[in-house]
């Protein structure tokens, strides 16, 4: 399996991601995020990829949420992209850190105002007695920031998954699927193929 690297996994990811943007009917940046809690219980949910590069894959969320509690206890995650129209998946695994305040501020500032207000109104992952409570909180946030910029809430920000493994899976005829695995070794990557 260990061979000299023949390609850069980030270049391959970019090529597949560009194709997914062209072919997926919606949300080519949607990815499943798997975390584990302190008791070892895994859980998974969808989030949106909002930035990526050699240093990792970034998503934004509420830092009081269930996934945030998992990541505080076990700061590692798995990501999965499934681009159905291309019959491809990409798996990413590695340690997770917070994005910097400057990075989270910049992304928050780029969001629509309603999304910004929603971040103030949402107590993500907490029980909600009635939908109206959320709407009331949204209205209160709107009134609070009336006429000015909406700052990033202290409980909202980015997380970066720094990949140690990236696996590309491509459907092939007769179920002879192709799996290409990149494993980080220091600053470089070892590449190999896996049996489907």
Task: Tell me which DSSP letter residue 55 carries.
Answer: T
Cα torsion 65, 66, 68, 72: sign: positive
Binding-site member from 27, 135, 171, 178 for ligand FMN (CB under 6 A): 27
Subset of 40-79 contacting ligand FMN (CB under 6 A)? 43, 45-48, 59-62, 65-67
Q: Among the options 45, 175, 180, 184, which is catalytic?
A: 175
Q: How many CB atoms lie within 10 A of CB 44?
A: 13
User: Around Cβ 173, how many Cβ atoms within 10 Å?
Assistant: 6
CB of 169 to ligand FMN, least distance (A): 20
Q: Which is nearer to ligand FMN, 125 or 190 (CB)?
A: 125
Q: How far apart are CA 12 and CA 91, in angstroms?
A: 13
Distance CA 33, CA 50 (A): 13
Contact status, residue 141 vs residue 117, Cβ threshold 8 Å: yes
175 catalytic per annotation: yes
Of residues 128 through 167, those in contact with ligand FMN by CB under 6 A are none
Q: Which is nearer to ligand FMN, 89 or 189 (CB)?
A: 89
Candidates 75, 111, 118, 124; binder of ligand FMN (CB under 6 A) is: 124
Helix (H, G, I), strand (E, B) or coil at 6: coil
Considering the complex, state which of residue 7 and residue 114 has its C-beta at the smaller distance from ligand FMN: 114
Tokens of 114: 């309603």
The yes or no reply on residue 30 touching ligand FMN (CB under 6 A) is yes
| Structure tokens belonging to residue 51 | 């930035």
Taking CB under 6 A as the rule, does residue 29 contact ligand FMN? no
Q: Is 21 in the site for ligand FMN (CB under 6 A)?
A: no
Q: Using CB under 6 A as the criterion, which residues of the chain lie in contact with ligand FMN when the complex forms? A: 27, 30, 43, 45-48, 59-62, 65-67, 124-125
Q: Which residues are catalytic?
A: 175
């Amino acid at each position: 399996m260990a061979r000299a690297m023949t390609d850069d996994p980030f270049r391959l990811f970019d090529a597949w991601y560009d194709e997914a943007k062209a072919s997926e009917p919606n949300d080519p940046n949607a990815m499943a995020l798997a975390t584990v809690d302190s008791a070892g219980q895994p859980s998974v949910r969808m989030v949106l990829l909002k930035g990526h590069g050699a240093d990792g894959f970034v998503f934004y969320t509420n830092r009081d949420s269930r996934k945030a509690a998992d990541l505080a206890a076990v700061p590692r995650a798995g990501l999965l992209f499934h681009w159905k129209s291309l019959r491809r998946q990409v798996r990413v695994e590695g340690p997770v850190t917070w994005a910097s305040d400057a990075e989270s501020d910049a992304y928050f500032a780029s969001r629509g105002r309603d999304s910004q207000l929603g971040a103030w109104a949402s107590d993500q992952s907490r029980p909600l007695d009635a939908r109206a409570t959320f709407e009331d909180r949204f209205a209160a946030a709107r009134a609070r920031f009336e006429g000015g910029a909406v700052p990033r809430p202290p409980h909202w920000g980015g997380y970066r998954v720094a990949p140690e493994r990236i696996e590309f899976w491509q459907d092939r005829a007769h179920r002879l699927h192709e799996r290409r695995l990149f494993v980080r070794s220091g600053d470089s990557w070892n590449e190999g193929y896996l049996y489907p």
